[in-house]
């Protein structure tokens, strides 16, 4: 039996961060990437822009379910795979962990998700259940090119109190290999370990006052030698891409950014609404998110995390025979229940995340889900879909005369497509291009249910740029 030297704390309810001090926004410079390898570099405080870009398919070095969006950029370093460690614990912020793992794997990195808990299954800060690849004890003698810590509370404290992880990360810093942390991790985990000494650092605004004043930097991304830090869930894509660039080079980072619909010069509208109707309900909104093997983990986790932050009652239901889902980039997620068990309830909104070739097929083939969707439409309740999943609604005859958007590979299949906005709302239907645009998608839902002020406060907790009006 393996011996664990991590201090196991009695679980307490995860702490969610909602109202940090607002930091002024600035525009990105002309080049999104291009970090000098051995000197400080910071990206100003802004949020990555998202753009519609042609997708170049390529071969993945990670075994995944085929997907229109799970391609991994080819790279000259493919022959010598870079190895990355992403540790998770009770209360880890799921958006930060999953986006980091997803983006690194797309770039061709061999990513190990390691639990610092006695068990592999970890309850993240927003209630998402993630399953690690291994326990941290199996990683103590391995050499990694990168150790990257997601934030979240009490997740960062759980990481901090794990002696094995402390030794791994300290050795990483001593041997001048890449390491980093996002959100609460720099202040709560890396600082007590003494790994921020003489390093310019950023972190979540709510924890900024814990950093040494002289070395604290208010920026989305701060690269200081081997250390990279970032502010929160809303900057997770920038954090992951900064690490991709340092591992694989600027061209790979730029390609992955395009695959994710991120671009500094993007001027696409955030959303466009047609046939405006009121979505407000007199009770806590109830939302169903059906998932399948091959579903896109970024989309599942981002939508669920943001809606739960807004106090929406979200149920994640598997259309497979098991609640255990293997997502498109190999992240293992445990749904709340099976679709058959979820079918007995009424939902104000049903959202279909992207499912790739296999996943979307499973969503489309599910007879229970088809019945739910048709009943939802007949009752005049809300429907949503992202990436390629609007085609599922289309094939079930639920997009009649409705304007919608979708992933570029799927938008031509729609009868009334809108090409341009990240999010399109038509009456009680909401659709999105997917991937990095799902933050806007989820916040648009929050705005429709609760109003703009609630959406903006959630966005501030994410450190995600959102319009004041």
Is 28 a member of any domain? no
Paired tokens of 319: 């259309």
Residues 245 and 283 in one domain: no
Residues 240 and 276 in one domain: no
Nearest to 307 by CA among 337, 349, 269, 344: 349
Residues 320 and 238 in one domain: no
Domain that holds residue 184: 83-260
Is 23 a member of any domain? no
Residues 104 and 151 in one domain: yes
Is 355 a member of any domain? yes
Residues 237 and 376 in one domain: no
Confidence of residue 469 (pLDDT cuts 50, 70, 90): confident
Cβ contact 448:430 at 8 Å = yes
Residues 350 and 228 in one domain: no
Instruction: Summarize pLDDT for 181-224 with one digit per residue, the tens.
Output: 999 999 999 999 999 999 999 999 999 999 999 999 999 999 99
Residues 122 and 143 in one domain: yes
Nearest to 146 by CA among 60, 62, 246: 246
Is 112 a member of any domain? yes
Residue 11 above 70 pLDDT? no
Instruction: Summarize pLDDT for 96-126 with one digit per residue, the tens.
Output: 999 999 999 999 999 999 999 999 999 999 9
Residues 448 and 385 in one domain: yes
Nearest to 285 by CA among 464, 165, 430: 430
Is 55 a member of any domain? no
Is 57 a member of any domain? no
Orientation angle between helical segments 94-106 and 297-309, nearest 10 degrees: 160
Is 437 a member of any domain? yes
Bridge-based pairing of strands 83-88 and 146-149 is parallel
Instruction: Summarize pLDDT for 158-190 with one digit per residue, the tens.
Output: 999 999 999 999 999 999 999 999 999 999 999
Residues 179 and 132 in one domain: yes
Residues 256 and 277 in one domain: no
Cβ contact 88:150 at 8 Å = yes
Nearest to 75 by CA among 52, 45, 106, 39: 106
Q: Domain end: 223, 239, 260, which one?
A: 260
Q: What's 441's domain CATH number?
A: 3.40.50.880
Kindly list the catalytic residues.
387
Percent of the chain with pLDDT over 70: 81
Confidence of residue 260 (pLDDT cuts 50, 70, 90): very high
Is 243 a member of any domain? yes
Residues 124 and 243 in one domain: yes
Residues 248 and 289 in one domain: no
Confidence of residue 433 (pLDDT cuts 50, 70, 90): very high
Q: Domain end: 260, 283, 312, which one?
A: 260
Instruction: Return mean pLDDT, the chain.
Output: 86
| Bridge partner list, 290 | 317
Q: Domain end: 207, 226, 260, which one?
A: 260
Domain count for the chain: 2
């Amino acid at each position: 039996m393996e011996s664990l030297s991590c201090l196991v704390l009695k679980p307490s309810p995860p702490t969610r961060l909602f109202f940090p001090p607002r930091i002024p926004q600035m525009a990105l410079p002309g080049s999104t990437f291009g970090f000098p390898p051995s000197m400080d570099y910071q990206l100003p405080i802004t949020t990555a822009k998202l753009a519609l870009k042609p997708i170049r398919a390529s071969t993945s070095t990670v075994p995944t379910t085929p997907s229109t969006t799970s391609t991994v950029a080819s790279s000259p370093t493919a022959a010598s795979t870079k190895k990355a460690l992403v540790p998770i614990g009770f209360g880890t912020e799921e958006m930060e962990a999953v986006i980091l793992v997803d983006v690194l794997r797309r770039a061709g990195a061999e990513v190990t998700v390691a639990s610092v808990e006695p068990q592999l299954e970890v309850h993240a800060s927003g209630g998402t259940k993630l399953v690690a690849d291994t326990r941290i004890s199996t990683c103590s003698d391995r050499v990694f090119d990168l150790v990257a810590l997601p934030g979240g509370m009490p997740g960062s404290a759980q990481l901090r109190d794990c002696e094995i992880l402390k030794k791994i990360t300290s050795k990483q810093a001593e041997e001048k290999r890449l390491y980093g942390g996002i959100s609460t991790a720099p202040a709560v985990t890396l600082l007590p370990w003494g790994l921020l000494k003489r390093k310019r650092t950023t972190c979540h605004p709510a924890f900024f006052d814990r950093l040494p004043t002289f070395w604290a930097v208010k920026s989305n991304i701060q690269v200081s030698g081997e250390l990279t830090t970032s502010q929160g869930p809303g900057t997770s894509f920038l954090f992951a891409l900064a690490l991709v660039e340092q591992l694989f080079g600027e061209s790979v980072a730029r390609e992955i950014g395009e695959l994710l619909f991120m671009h500094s010069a993007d001027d696409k509208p955030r959303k466009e609404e047609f046939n405006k109707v009121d979505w407000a309900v007199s009770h806590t909104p109830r939302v169903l998110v059906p998932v399948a093997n091959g579903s896109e983990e970024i989309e599942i986790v981002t939508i669920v995390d943001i809606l739960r932050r807004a106090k929406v009652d979200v149920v994640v239901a598997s259309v497979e025979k098991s609640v255990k889902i293997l997502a498109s980039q190999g992240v293992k997620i445990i749904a709340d229940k099976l679709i058959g068990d979820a079918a007995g309830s009424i939902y104000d909104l049903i959202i279909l995340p992207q499912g790739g070739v296999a996943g979307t097929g499973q969503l489309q083939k599910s007879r229970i889900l088809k019945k739910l969707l048709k009943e939802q439409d007949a009752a005049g309740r809300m429907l949503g879909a992202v990436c390629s999943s609007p085609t599922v609604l289309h094939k079930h005859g639920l997009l009649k005369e409705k304007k919608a958007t979708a992933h570029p590979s799927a938008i031509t299949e729609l009868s009334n497509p809108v090409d341009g906005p990240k999010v399109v709302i038509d009456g009680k239907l909401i659709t999105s291009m997917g991937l990095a645009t799902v933050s806007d998608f989820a916040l648009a839902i929050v705005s429709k249910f609760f109003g703009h002020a609630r959406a903006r406060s959630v966005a501030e907790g994410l450190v995600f740029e959102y319009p004041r009006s």
